[in-house]
Chains A and B, each alone.
Chain A
Amino acid sequence: MKLRMIGLLGLALTAGATLALGAEGGNARKGKYLYKNSCKECHSEGSEGGELTPMSKTMKQWDRYFEKKADEHPGETFGEISEKDMKDIIQFLYDHAKDSPSPETCG
């Protein structure tokens, strides 16, 4: 558990650093694939975490979430996502947020 918390903290810090100017440097198209595989199980309509798509938040809200609240995210899967994969997922969410130039659901 301790290791997991350190991992999450590191992840949140990394995400925060990445997002200082908004998400950048991630592969949004790979992020979409990773989101579908890692996140949708808990974030589809009627599922435990409630439906969540890039359009669920604005770009700034996604920034804020990963800067400040990511370490509160429950569940083991989230903690097992690698730093690189998380960067890609964040890029996907940010690039297709509600107020982005190309808002998108997860398909």
Chain B
Amino acid sequence: MRNIDLCIFATGFCAGSLLTAGEDHTDYIDGPFENATQVTAACLDCHEEEANAFMTTAHWTWKREQVVNGKLMDYGKEMAMNNYCSSTITNRVHCSECHAGYGWEDETFDFTDQTRVDCLICHDTTGTYHKDGDNSGWPTEHVKLLYVAQNVGKPVRQNCNSCHALGGSANNAKHGDISLVLDYPDRSIDVHMDAGGLDFNCQDCHETENHQISGGNLATTLDGHNLISCEQCHDSDPHGEFLLNTHTARIACQTCHIPVFAKEDATQMHWDWSQAGLDEPPAEVDGKEKRYRKPIGFEIWKKDVQPSYAWFNGKAGVYLVGDKIDPEEVTKMAYPLGDINDPTAKIHPFKIHTGKQVYDVVNKYFITNHIYGEDGFWTTFDWDRSIRIGMEANGMDYSGEYGFAPTEMYWRIDHMVSPKEEALTCLDCHGDQGRMDWEALGYPGNPMLRISKAD
């Protein structure tokens, strides 16, 4: 309890500072600015050390040396494949909307140029800074750079959400538990971020030092580096009931305290690329849960989704570009590691996003497709042409034959913590209609039933 009190006190203190939007830079920044790099140059007059620190982070590099599927290598968004647009490799102009820099459109981008750091995407307090123009991370034309630069401050949830809620084609398409509703949620959405209550900012849990933000996405932080946990504030015996406390060694807090995700804003649960490019939507499309967009294909979106559950020891595995697949089997693009025999693993909630992705029928690996730009699939709807461009850019052989194979991708569910009165209770897991698939988790059956029979 003492930990919680300290956290709440610290958060209240920070929130108080943030509510005043803090740092009036009017006297330090006078402009005018013709482009965004001139803003950064002005920031550097006082904050060069901060820029240097930032340029070592994954928000800038999009990769980090880490152990990936047992091998030490550089890995991150720069070279990852996912279950959405597949890869960033030939689609940088589009993907760099979410790079905290300016102008990363190809391999000529200079990662040592400090003026390319985008300070404003994280430090804008006006809510008027946007870089969603499909233009390599440059801000959109209507942004008033001087106004934004004079009103910088510490990040609030809205800053982080501008990328973390909007990746993957739409609000909440990816995470499931991070949507724009977290800009200003109420208690029913998340007890910690409740704008009328504790009002936690992201960095209250994702503690940050020298721009190194703790925590990490399952698909890009595979080695468990710098992960955060509820126990930063709550101890391991947080309940008044002994029986509940016996669960904490093997059950993540999130499992009981996030009974549903995608509250208020639906999340994409399925993306079938095989139907992209059709002039007429498939018959099953209802425009609600089952949607169709010609460039995207067939999608399923859901609200208030019950998580799936799997063992998780903080580490993950991924599909790497070039890995062979069995197109008859579901390939996991990103998945948690750990099992019932791993003492460091706990049962954790996940969103499992399913899909169908384009692959090379002869070489039997997934294709890094070129989707963005005049010659990309979203413009031409020509699979063969866009595949050739994407594979050539990536230095990979393409047989000339493509097909579509099933995939799935796990997403950690850590946000949208419900009020305690809505947490799971005994029968939610151990009842006849309980939500746990005990056999899949490695148990011979419902553990409570076994105890009951033994009695």
Which residues does A use to contact B, with CB under 8 Å?
24-30, 32-33, 88, 107
A28 to B264, CA, bound (A): 18
**A30 cross-chain contacts in B, Cβ below 8 A:** 127, 158, 183-184
- Cβ B264 vs Cβ A27 within 8 A: no
B169 within 8 A of A: no
- Cβ B195 vs Cβ A29 within 8 A: no
Which residue of B128, B144, B184, B264 is within 8 Å of A33 (Cβ)?
A: B184
B147 within 8 A of A: yes
A30 to B157, CA, bound (A): 11
A-B contact pairs, 20 of them (CB 8 A): A24-B142, A25-B128, A25-B147, A26-B127, A27-B126, A27-B127, A27-B128, A27-B158, A28-B127, A29-B127, A29-B180, A29-B183, A30-B183, A30-B184, A32-B183, A32-B184, A33-B183, A33-B184, A33-B195, A107-B264
Nearest to B195 among chain A residues (CB) is: A33
Known contacts: A24-B142, A30-B184. The answer to whether A88 contacts B127 by CB under 8 A is yes
A30 to B181, CA, bound (A): 11
**A24 cross-chain contacts in B, Cβ below 8 A:** 128, 142, 144
Classify the secondary structure of A's interface with B.
Answer: helix
**B180 cross-chain contacts in A, Cβ below 8 A:** 29
A-B interface, 5 closest residue pairs, ranked by CB to CB distance from nearest: A27-B127, A33-B184, A29-B183, A29-B158, A30-B127
A30 to B182, CA, bound (A): 11
Distance between A6 CB and nearest chain B CB, rounded to angstroms: 26
Interface size counted on chain B using CB atoms at 8 A: 13
**B181 cross-chain contacts in A, Cβ below 8 A:** 107
**B127 cross-chain contacts in A, Cβ below 8 A:** 26-30, 88
A88 to B128, CA, bound (A): 10
Which residues does B use to contact A, with CB under 8 Å?
126-128, 142, 144, 147, 158, 180-181, 183-184, 195, 264
Distance between A106 CB and nearest chain B CB, rounded to angstroms: 11
Nearest to A34 among chain B residues (CB) is: B184
Distance between B164 CB and nearest chain A CB, rounded to angstroms: 14
Distance between B85 CB and nearest chain A CB, rounded to angstroms: 21
A24 to B147, CA, bound (A): 12
Distance between A83 CB and nearest chain B CB, rounded to angstroms: 14
A33 to B199, CA, bound (A): 14
**A33 cross-chain contacts in B, Cβ below 8 A:** 183-184, 195
Distance between A88 CB and nearest chain B CB, rounded to angstroms: 7
Distance between B189 CB and nearest chain A CB, rounded to angstroms: 11
**A88 cross-chain contacts in B, Cβ below 8 A:** 127
Which residue of A26, A32, A107 is within 8 Å of B128 (Cβ)?
A: A26
Distance between A29 CB and nearest chain B CB, rounded to angstroms: 5
**B158 cross-chain contacts in A, Cβ below 8 A:** 27, 29-30
A107 to B126, CA, bound (A): 23
**A32 cross-chain contacts in B, Cβ below 8 A:** 183-184
A32 to B186, CA, bound (A): 13
Distance between A33 CB and nearest chain B CB, rounded to angstroms: 3
Distance between A21 CB and nearest chain B CB, rounded to angstroms: 10
Known contacts: A30-B127, A107-B264. The answer to whether A25 contacts B144 by CB under 8 A is yes
Distance between A39 CB and nearest chain B CB, rounded to angstroms: 14
**A107 cross-chain contacts in B, Cβ below 8 A:** 181, 264
A28 to B180, CA, bound (A): 12
Nearest to B158 among chain A residues (CB) is: A29
A30 to B184, CA, bound (A): 7
Distance between A107 CB and nearest chain B CB, rounded to angstroms: 6
A33 to B243, CA, bound (A): 40
A26 to B144, CA, bound (A): 12
**B128 cross-chain contacts in A, Cβ below 8 A:** 24-27
Distance between B152 CB and nearest chain A CB, rounded to angstroms: 14
Distance between B382 CB and nearest chain A CB, rounded to angstroms: 27
A88 to B184, CA, bound (A): 13
Distance between B330 CB and nearest chain A CB, rounded to angstroms: 34
**B144 cross-chain contacts in A, Cβ below 8 A:** 24-25
A26 to B367, CA, bound (A): 43
9 new A-B contacts at CB < 8 Å, known A25-B128, A27-B158: A24-B142, A25-B144, A26-B128, A29-B158, A29-B183, A30-B184, A32-B184, A33-B183, A107-B181
Distance between B316 CB and nearest chain A CB, rounded to angstroms: 31
**B195 cross-chain contacts in A, Cβ below 8 A:** 33
A26 to B183, CA, bound (A): 15
A28 to B126, CA, bound (A): 10
**A26 cross-chain contacts in B, Cβ below 8 A:** 127-128
- Cβ B126 vs Cβ A25 within 8 A: yes
Nearest to B162 among chain A residues (CB) is: A29
A83 to B172, CA, bound (A): 31
Distance between B195 CB and nearest chain A CB, rounded to angstroms: 7
